[in-house]
Amino acid sequence: MLPHRRVYNEEHDQFRETVRRFAASKIAPDFARWEEAGIVDRKLWGAGGAAGLLCPQVPEEFGGAGGDFRHNAVVIEELSYSGFAGPATDFSVHNDVCCGYLLSYGTPEQKKKWLPRMVSGETVCAIAMTEPGTGSDLQGIRTRAVREGDEFVISGQKTFISNGQMCDLVIVVVRTAPEGGSRGMSLVLVETDRPGFRHGRNLEKLGHLSADTSELFFDAVRVPVSNLLGAEGGAMGALMSELPQERLTIALHSIAAAQKAFDLAKDYVQQRSAFGSPIGNFQNTRFKLADLKSDLAVGWAYADQCLHDHLKHELTTYAASTAKLWITEMHGRLVDQCLQFFGGYGFMREYEICRLYADARVLRIYGGTSEIMRELISRNL
């Protein structure tokens, strides 16, 4: 189970029990069906809102619980440890990424309109950065927003968008100036019921099967200029200020899922026998588990340090990148070894370790690849 950590207090521990009950009652009964369907039921969002799991950091004046980011972290950790990577990703994009941009850059009118709906689950939010020809290098985006009077006309295509099928509101990274590099990029809110917007296909993935991930198409979609989120031309600055939080959430997701894989393997090696003895009694097994346990201890300590710094508004791009790089890479090694303990059964999807293995792979990719993390860290040497 997840370790007790001093970064949390009694209020967060009580909230953790709420999330565990929610996972057991609202996700577990339908999870296998959602994995097969490639998407969760819409009812999950309403249930999440009713339970207080959506955007818990939103102030009370906008319908939220007025919590701190540790409440968000509890949701990430518990859903990830429960093995529900799809719903964990869906909620995290909505709670930790999209909501963060609205809180930091939304106008009073935008906050009043959208935050209560996001807290309740009435509105599901997505953020659209990646394009078919542009991954981590956001300066290469081609989606355009041309101003015509009091409107922006948006044309382009996005891909790999989490919540792409379910979303009602999308934060779209667009180019508002043909030149200017990063200074020509802006964030625009797009309601998905506007003419010209289209959800593309729900993409088939290696893991996170129940997390809908889609292409989005914008064919001369008109939105009012008041849908601009933050300053025109200010997208890159906004992204750079919010990405450390996103990378911290990925690190928390990763360390919790790694802990679950370790716990499953530790129990399994005492049940599986070879040559007349449980394989957990072999020195090779015990030493490997000792290494993995040590990796987890280091990972939890650094994740908690970053979480503590983030609460004090002191989390740097360097520290968040380090957390994402080391923890997700460690997670990959750990779950590979844990699957190995299961032998041939580990290759079967009916065993949870198989799903945990598949779900782990993307964490080294999204939110900035490991290679991009190394580039960012190297700039701070």
C-alpha distances out from residue 135 to 131, 147, 372, Å: 6, 26, 11
In degrees and rounded to multiples of 5, residue 204 shows phi and psi of -85, 135
Token reading at 50: 């009713």
Catalytic residue among 35, 131, 242, 246: 246
The sign of the dihedral angle between the CA atoms of 256, 337, 372, 312 is: positive
Give helix 10-22 / helix 43-51 axis angle, nearest 10°: 150
H or E element in which residue 77 lies: helix 69-81
E strand spans, the chain: 125-128, 144-148, 151-162, 169-175, 185-191, 197-202, 213-224, 228-229, 273-274, 277-278
φ, ψ of residue 277 in degrees (nearest 5):
-145, 145
Token couple for 183: 């200074």
| Partner residues linked to 128 by β-bridges | 172
Residue among 74, 71, 27, 70 nearest 47 (CA)? 27
| Vertex 332 angle, CA 329 and 86, to 5° | 110
CA distance linking residue 247 with residue 76, whole number of Å: 12
Write down how long the chain is: 381
Tokens of 37: 């369907």
With residues binned 3-state (H G I as helix, E B as strand, rest as coil), the percentages for the chain, rounded to 5, are 55, 15, 30
3-state secondary structure of 220: strand
Sorted by sequence, the CB contacts under 8 Å of residue 324 that are 6+ apart come out as 247, 248, 250, 251, 254, 367, 368, 373
Catalytic residue check, 246: yes
Catalytic residues: 246
